[in-house]
Chains A and B, each alone.
Chain A
Amino acid sequence: MRFFEYEAREVVKRAGIPVTDFGFTTDPGEAREIAQRIGGPTVIKSQVLTGGRMKAGGVKFADTPEEAEAYARDILALEINGHMPRGVLVDPKAEVEQEYYAGVVWDGTRKQPVMIFSPVGGIDIEQVAEEQPDKVGRKHFSNILPFGDFEAKEVIASTGVTGSALNKLTPIVARLAKLFVENDMTLAEINPLGRLKDGSFVALDAHMDIENEARGRHKKLLKDLGVGDEETRQAREATPFELAGEAVDSQDHRGVAGNVTEFDGNLGLVIGAGGGSLTLFDAVRAHGGQPANYCEIGGNPSVSKTCGLAKLVLQKPGVDKIAVMMSIVSNTRVDIVARGVIKACLELGHDPAEKIAIFRIPGAWEEEGFKILEKYGVEYADRSVSLNEAARRAVEKIQGTTAASETGAPGLIPGGHT
Chain B
Amino acid sequence: MSILIDADTTFIVQGITGREAVNLTRECLDYGAGAKVVGGVTPGRLGREVHGVPVFDTVAQAVAHHGAPIDGSVVTVPPAFTKDAVFEAIENGVKLIVIVTERIPRRDVAEMVELATLRGARIIGPNCLGIIVPDVIKMGGIGGPARNAAQAYTPGPIGVISRSGGMTTEMSSTLSAAGLGQSTAVSIGGDAIIGQSYAELMPLFEADEQTQGIVIYTEPGGRMEAELAKWVTEHNSRLPIVAFMAGRFMDEMPGMSFGHAGTIVEGKEDTASEKIARLAQAGITVAERIEDIPSLIGDKIAERSAV
- Seen from chain A, the residues whose Cβ lies within 8 Å of a Cβ on chain B are 105-106, 108-109, 111-113, 126, 142-144, 181, 184, 186-187, 211-214, 216-217, 234-236, 259, 261, 272-279, 281-283, 285-286, 294, 296, 298, 326-331, 363-364, 383-384, 386-389, 409, 411-412, 414
Contacts and interface: CB of A to CB of B under 8 A. Distances in A.
A238 B261 CA distance: 18
The 6 A-B pairs at the shortest CB distance, nearest first, are namely A330-B144, A275-B164, A235-B255, A275-B167, A214-B105, A278-B247
Contacts of B162: 275
A369 B84 CA distance: 40
SS class, residues of chain A in contact with chain B: mixed
Contact of B258 (A105, A261, A329): A261
A330 B149 contact: yes
B54 to A, nearest CB: 25
A168 B153 CA distance: 60
A113 B193 CA distance: 11
11 contacts: A106-B106, A109-B223, A111-B109, A142-B114, A143-B107, A214-B105, A261-B258, A278-B164, A328-B152, A386-B174, A409-B249
B219 A278 contact: yes
A143 B260 CA distance: 24
A328 B166 contact: yes
Contact of A184 (B107, B115, B169, B219): B107
A327 B166 contact: yes
Contacts of B217: 275
B141 interface: yes
B118 to A, nearest CB: 8
With most chain B CB atoms within 10 A of its CB, the pick from A283, A328, A384, A387 is A328
A274 B256 contact: no
A386 B114 contact: no
A108 B103 CA distance: 16
Contacts of B190: 274-275
B88 interface: no
Contact of A276 (B142, B166, B197): B166
Given A108-B223, A282-B246, A282-B249, A327 B115 contact: no
B104 interface: yes
Contact of B259 (A144, A296, A386): A296
B145 A330 contact: yes
A214 B105 CA distance: 5
B110 interface: yes
B297 to A, nearest CB: 16
Interface of B: 20, 79-80, 103-107, 109-111, 113-115, 118, 129, 141-145, 148-149, 152, 162-167, 169-170, 173-174, 177, 190, 192-193, 197, 217, 219, 222-224, 227, 244, 246-250, 252-256, 258-261, 263, 266-268, 288-291
B246 A279 contact: yes
Contacts of A181: 107
Contacts of B103: 213
B279 to A, nearest CB: 16
Contact of B106 (A211, A277, A286): A211
Given A275-B246, A389-B291, 14 more contacts: A111-B113, A144-B115, A181-B107, A235-B255, A274-B164, A274-B259, A274-B260, A275-B162, A276-B164, A278-B246, A279-B170, A286-B288, A328-B170, A388-B289
Contacts of B129: 330
A113 B111 CA distance: 11
Contact of B266 (A186, A329, A411): A186
A386 B193 contact: no
Q: Which one of A181, A213, A277, A278 has the highest number of Cβ atoms from chain B below 10 Å of its Cβ?
A: A278
B200 to A, nearest CB: 10
Nearest to B169: A328
A25 B177 CA distance: 64
Contacts of B244: 279
A327 B169 contact: yes
A184 B291 contact: no
A329 B246 CA distance: 18
Nearest to B170: A327
Given A273-B166, A384-B177, A412-B253, A109 B197 contact: yes
Contacts of B258: 259, 261, 277-278, 281, 294
A212 B118 CA distance: 28
A187 B266 CA distance: 9
Contact of A386 (B141, B144, B289): B289
Nearest to A298: B166
A414 B142 CA distance: 34
A363 B169 CA distance: 10
Contacts of B224: 108-109
B257 to A, nearest CB: 9
B114 A105 contact: no
B143 A330 contact: yes
B128 to A, nearest CB: 11
Contacts of B248: 282
Contacts of B256: 234-236, 261
A173 to B, nearest CB: 19
Contacts of B142: 330
A326 B186 CA distance: 20
Nearest to A254: B19
A411 B268 CA distance: 21
Contacts of A144: 111, 114-115, 118
Contacts of A298: 166
A298 B164 CA distance: 12
